[in-house]
Structure 1
C-alpha cells in the first residue's frame, strides 16, 4: 500500500510504496555481473535520474593523520602539529576545513592529538577513529574527543568473506557498538566501508534507517561516512547502483532520512575519479567531503584536500576567507621537512603545475600571463607562473625566465628580441645540440646570463634584492 507523506526536504507530497528493510540473504551478493575480478569492472546504466540538491552549507574534513599516514612513514608529533596549524590557516574564519581525524592507539598518536587540542582552534575539530570495539571507547573518552569514526563495513565482500557474518549479525554487532558510543556521550561517525559494492536497498538503507532511529532516541547526532573504499564510484547521470555516487547520496538522504549535514563522502582514486566523485557528492546532497593533504592515502590515495577547497571556491563563487597560500606552504613542508616528494605535474602544488616549456606558450605569457595561467597563482597561491627553459622554449621562454627570476616588470622587463636573450639562446641551443636532454636549472641559467653580460647580471641582481626588500 502506497504511503503519502509531506517532505520537509522538497516541500512536496511524496509517495513511497515501500519502507526498506534488511534483506538477510543466505549467500553474498557480490555483483559478479559488474565485478568479475578477471576483467575491468563494468559501469551499468539504468537511466534513473535523481535530483541535484546541493546542501546550504558544505565543507571538507581531513584524514591525513589517519588514512593518509597509513600510506607513508609515520609523521613525528612536530610534523603533525605543524601540518595541523597550516590546515587551520587554510580553513579560514568559517572553518571550511571542519574536522581532522587522529589515531589514538600509540603514545605518539595521543601526544600529537593532545598538542593539537591544546592549540585551542575551533577548526579543524580534533576527532578520532577506532575499531568496532567497546574497549576503544575508553580511549576516546580519556582523550577528550567528542566524535569518533567507527568502521561498519557494509558490502557482502566484507560481511560474508572477511567477518564470516550474516547481514543480520553484522547489523546487530554494529548497532551494539554505536549504542556503546552513545552511552559514553560520544558522537558516532559510522564509516560505511565499501559502499560502492554493497547491496544498497538490502543492507545500506535499512542499516541507515536504524541509525536514524537511535539518533532520535538518544538526541546525539550520528554521521554516516559513505566510503568508496576501492574507488568504484561513478558520477555519470543515470548510472546504476551500487556504483552511482548520485544514487548513494540521494538514497541515504531521501530513503533513509539522513540529514545533509550528517552525510560525508570518503573516496579513493583507483579509477581517477576521486575529485569528480567528491564534487558530485556535494551536488547531490552530501555536506562533507573527507580528504587528505596532497591526496595521500591507501593505494592511489584519498581525495586531495587542496583540490576540494579550490572546488569549493568554484562552486560557491567565493573563497570565504580561506588562505590558499597555505596550500603552497603545505606542499613545501611535505617536500622539505617530511621528505615526501610532490609529483611535478600535480595540480596546484607540483613544480610544473603553472610552468610552461613550449616557446609559443612562453610568448603568450610574455604578453599576458592570463593567456596560459589558470588564475592569478601568484596572488592566490603565492606561486608565480613560470617558464621552464629547455630545447623548445625559444627566445620568449628565456625572456620570460629572466623577467620572472629577477622580478623585472614594466620598463625593466627584458624583451625576447634583446641582444642578451639572443646570446643566452645561442648557448642554451648549443647545450641541447650536444646531447643535453634535461631542463635548465635556475642557477645554471643565472650563470649563463652572467657569462653573456656581467653588467646586466649585476643590475638584475640589484633589482631582485630591491624587490625582496
Structure 2
C-alpha cells in the first residue's frame, strides 16, 4: 500500500491514488453470467446505478480493420483493391491522421504483398499494423517486414477460456503473458485483442490481466496496447448498467484500476444489437482514444462499427473534421460497387443510394422550397451527394426537373427547366403510370430508362452522370 503512487488527474486536477489491487480470481467453475445471458432467452440488461464520469481524451482517433475483420465475412480483396482502399483511407484521414492505423493479415502471399505495397506508399497515416497468430514464427515475420506493432488474440471470457481453450484462468493468463513476452523480446509492440470482453469477468480476470500487461510494458519500455472487443455486440451505453455489458464501466475499470493509458486503449464493436456506433462513441467519451472500425461496417456476422459513421461522430463531438476529406467516402462507395462488385444497402447512412432521397410527397414539397428542411447537412459539400427528391404522382413537373438536374449534376446552361421536352415526356409517362393504378414511387432505374427513351424520341442529347 505504501508504494502506491499519488498523481494528478489531468481532467479534474485532483490528486488520485492508483488502485491496481485486483488479483486474478482463478475460479474452478466458469462464470458465464447466465443471469444476464440465458441462452434460451433474450439477453438481459441489468442496472446497479453505479455512475462513472465522462473522461473524454484531448485527442481521439479511428483505427481500421477493413483488411482483417472486414475480410472475414466476404471474398478476400485482391492486392490491388487493398492498396487502392488504403490510398482512399489515407486521403479520408487527412493530414492530421485521424485514421491512425490499419491492420492486415500476414497469412498469405497476397496479404503480405499488399502490406509491402502499402508500406511503399510511405504514408505516416494510416500506420500499417498486422494481426497474427500468437507464435514465435509469426512474430519474426512481423519484425522481418518492418512493422512496429501487431495484434494478438487474447480471448478473455470464461466461454472462451473454459469451453474453447479448455484451460483455467491462471493457465490461460500464463500462456498469454509468455506469448506477449516473446513479442516484446523482438522489439514489436503487442496490441492485445481482448475477445468477448462484454461476457468476461472484468475485475476477476480482465483487470488483473491488464495490470500484468502494464508491468511488462514498463519492464520492456514498449507500449502494450489493449483492444476491448465487444465480439458479440452485447455492450450497452446506458448510464448505471452493470458490467460486463456496460461500455463505460469496462473503459473506466481498465483505465482506473489497471492503469492503462487512454492512448493505449481502443474499442472494437460489433453490431448484433444495433449498438456498434453508439457504443464506440461511448468508449471515446469515457476515455478510450481509439475506436476500431471497418469500411461500411463490413465484418463478422452483423458487421463492425462503420468507419464512415465514426468520421461524422468525430466531427460532431470535436466540432471539426480536423482535415478529414469526407467526399472520399462517396468515392469509396462507388469503388466498391463498380470495381469490387459490392453494393452498399440503399438505406445505409452516408453511403446508401437512397440515404438523402426524399420520397414522401409532403416532404418533397418542403425540400424543393428549402433543402435544409429534410436534409441532415449539406450532403453535396461533405459527400458530393446532392439531395434528391424521388418522383411520384405528387412530384409535379418541377420535381421531375429537379430530379434530372440533381441526379445528372446539371447546372447553369446545362440544367433543364419545366418546359424541357425530356421533362414533359417523363411527366406524361409518370401521369400514365398512376392513372393505371400505380401506388409506389418511381425507381431510379425506371427514370433512367424512360429518360433514355425520351432523349431518343425528342432528339435530345442524352444525359450522363458525371
User: TM-score, normalised on structure 1?
Assistant: 0.92
Other-structure match for 2:8: 8
Structure 1 pair 49/197, CA: closer, same or farther in 2 (3 Å)?
same
Report SS of the residue matched to 1:102.
strand
Mapped partners of 1:251, 1:60: distance in 2: 22
Alignment of 1:225-304 (within 5 A): 225-304=227-306
Contact kept, 8 Å, 1:359 with 1:396, in 2: the verdict is: no
Instruction: Give the direction of change, closer, same or farther, for the CA distance of 1:325–1:406 in structure 2 (3 Å limit).
Output: closer
Matches within 5 A, 1:11-50: 11-14=13-16, 19-50=21-52
Contact 2:25 2:204 in 1 (8 A): yes
The structural deviation recorded for 1:254 is 0.7
Per-residue CA deviations over 1:35-54 (Å, capped at 9, x if unaligned) read 00111100000000000011
Matches of 2:4 and 2:178, distance apart in 1: 33
How many angstroms apart in 2 are the aligned matches of 1:261 and 1:159? 28
Separation in 2, partners of 1:220, 1:16: 21
Deviates more, 1:111-120 or 1:14-23: 14-23
**Matched-pair contact (CA < 8 Å) for 1:62–1:290:** yes
Bigger drift between 187-196 and 387-396 goes to 387-396
Q: 1:439 aligns with which of 437, 443, 446?
A: 443
CA RMSD of aligned residues (A): 2.5
Q: Does 1:335 align with 2:337?
A: yes
Cα distance between partner residues in 1 of 2:394 and 2:25: 63
Deviates more, 1:347-356 or 1:17-26: 17-26
Equivalent-residue separation in structure 1 for 2:4 and 2:68 (angstroms): 44
- Listed as ranges, the matches of 1:65-144 within 5 Å are 65-144=67-146
Structure 1 residue 392: Cα displacement: 5.2
Answer whether contact 1:130 1:148 (CA < 8 A) is retained. Answer: yes
Q: What is the distance in 2 between the residues matched to 1:88 and 1:379?
A: 20
* Alpha-carbon distance between aligned partners in 2 of 1:361 and 1:413, rounded to the nearest angstrom: 23
SS in 1 for 2:258: coil
Structure 1 unaligned residues grouped into runs of 5+ = none
Q: 1:138-181: per-residue Cα shift (whole Å, max 9, x none)?
A: 22112211100000000000000100110000110011011111
Change beyond 3 A, Cα 1:17–1:179: closer
What number of residue pairs does the alignment pair up? 461
| Aligned residue in 2 for 1:64 | 66
Contact 1:358–1:397 at 8 Å: present in 2 too? no
Change (3 A) 1:421 1:180: same
Cα distance between partner residues in 2 of 1:73 and 1:41: 32
Moved more, 398-407 or 217-226: 398-407
**CA shift in 2, pair 1:251/1:347, >3 Å:** same
* Deviation of 1:361 (Å): 1.9
Counterparts in 2 of 1:422 and 1:361: CA distance versus 1, 3 Å = farther
Q: Paired residue for 2:184, among 182, 198, 220?
A: 182
2:136 is paired with a residue whose SS is coil
Matching residue of 1:158: 160
Instruction: Indicate conservation of the 8 Å contact 1:187/1:220, yes or no.
Output: yes
What is the CA-CA distance between 1:425 and the residue it aligns to? Answer: 3.1
